């Protein structure tokens, strides 16, 4: 197994599932990596039809709000994110996409340090080019004194939304896994987290 693929496998294998769905999705992604299949998107928008992407969710614990963008193509309020380039470490993707999409510098959130993903999902996309996204989710912090300038070509709007409100949104408004991610992330606060099977 190539070094990059092995590093990706170790990153995914290191995730502690939040629930049965995440356990199944983690196993799916590990089997996909082990199969030797292409994991990076080579030709936009959907070649190969299953590929690796990232979401990164800025969270401000002072206001208990998350930054979500109104994605023009998906027509939903989503975390920022992007496709992992061939042989690119997913955290490098997060840092690159934060610069490109928000004109901002991404930092691992203090509740989840180290630039590691917190959550993994396998999802069929909506729209004219249906494909499967294997998504690694990263909570991040942004520089408080640096303005955010989302890319107007990709996003029709953006805002900081109360975390508790976003956790109640229907799947038609956002990514269907967002409430589960936010629940898991909330439990990374000091003294809160209990892994799947230990609650």
Domain ranges of the chain: 3-186
User: What confidence score (pLDDT) does residue 188 get?
Assistant: 84
Decide: helix, strand or coil at residue 66: strand
pLDDT tens over the chain, length 199 residues: 588 899 999 999 999 999 999 999 999 999 999 999 999 999 998 899 999 999 999 999 899 999 999 999 888 999 999 999 998 999 999 999 999 999 999 999 999 988 899 999 999 887 777 899 999 999 999 987 788 999 999 999 999 999 999 999 998 999 999 999 999 999 887 755 444 444 3
User: What confidence score (pLDDT) does residue 129 get?
Assistant: 79
pTM surpassing 0.85?
A: yes
Identify which of 127, 126, 138 has the alpha carbon closest to the alpha carbon of residue 97: 138
User: What confidence score (pLDDT) does residue 80 get?
Assistant: 97
Q: Are 108 and 140 in contact (CB under 8 A)?
A: yes
Task: Enumerate the H helices of 14-158 as residue ranges.
Answer: 20-34, 90-97
The structure tokens listed for 156 are: 């029709």
Q: What is the CATH number of domain 3-186?
A: 3.90.79.10
């Amino acid at each position: 197994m190539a070094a990059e693929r092995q590093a990706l496998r170790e990153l995914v294998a290191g995730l502690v599932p939040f629930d049965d769905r995440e356990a199944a999705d983690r196993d799916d992604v590990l089997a996909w990596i082990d199969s030797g299949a292409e994991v990076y998107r080579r030709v936009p928008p959907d070649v190969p039809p299953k590929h690796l992407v990232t979401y990164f969710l800025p969270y401000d614990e002072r206001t208990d709000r998350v930054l979500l963008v109104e994605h023009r193509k998906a027509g939903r309020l989503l975390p920022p994110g992007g496709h992992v380039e061939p042989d690119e470490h997913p955290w490098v993707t997060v840092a690159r996409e934060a610069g490109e999409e928000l004109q901002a510098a991404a930092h691992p959130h203090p509740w989840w340090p180290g630039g590691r993903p917190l959550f993994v999902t396998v999802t069929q996309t909506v729209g004219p080019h249906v494909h499967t996204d294997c998504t690694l989710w990263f909570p991040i912090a942004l520089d408080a004194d640096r303005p955010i300038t989302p890319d107007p070509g990709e996003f029709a709007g953006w805002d900081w939304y109360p975390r508790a409100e976003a956790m109640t949104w229907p799947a038609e408004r956002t990514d269907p896994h967002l409430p589960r991610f936010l629940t898991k992330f909330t439990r990374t606060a000091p003294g809160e987290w209990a892994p799947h099977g230990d609650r």
